[in-house]
Amino acid sequence: MTSPLPLAYDERLTAPRTWWLIAVAVGFSMALIVLPYGGLAALGGFAAGTLVACMWVSAQGSSRIRVTSGLLIADQARIPLTALGDVHVLDGEEARAWRSYKADLRAHTLMRSYISGAVRIENTDPGDPTPYIFLSTRTPDALARALDTARAA
């Protein structure tokens, strides 16, 4: 049995708390839509609408970024640290620019518009056409340090 690789960095890109309130508002909207069919239908509409909206919000916040001793794991992608080059920390307007007009369609991205920080990591693997990896993160400096530390180890 192999031992798990030690984590140098672990972040879950959770959805903002206000999105959960919006999910409940969707449930109320569904209740109002089916209210002409009776109180029981309105209760069912509220439950179904809230459930579907909460599932969607939960799915938006289920992505994780992890750095281990040999891999960068971004959602489903498992990228060896040996294939990574320079790490660029992006905040605010610069991160927004790389999410929009500066973006390369070939890049691997894990974007969340509700997170203002990001990192852009150069891809040095000559066999991979992906020019860079763009990851939204709430702590871009910590992710960059974790990548540098894990590569040095």
88-123 pLDDT, tens digit per residue, is: 999 889 999 999 999 999 999 999 888 889 999 999
Taking 50 as the threshold, does the pLDDT of residue 1 lie above it? no
Least confident window among 39-43, 44-48, 97-101: 97-101
Taking 70 as the threshold, does the pLDDT of residue 3 lie above it? no
- Alpha-carbon distance values, 107 to 102, 126, 132, 134, 147 (Å): 11, 14, 5, 7, 19
- Alpha-carbon distance values, 81 to 30, 85, 113, 125 (Å): 47, 8, 26, 10
pTM comes to 0.81
Taking 90 as the threshold, does the pLDDT of residue 151 lie above it? no
Taking 80 as the threshold, does the pLDDT of residue 129 lie above it? yes
Strand partners, 74: 65, 77
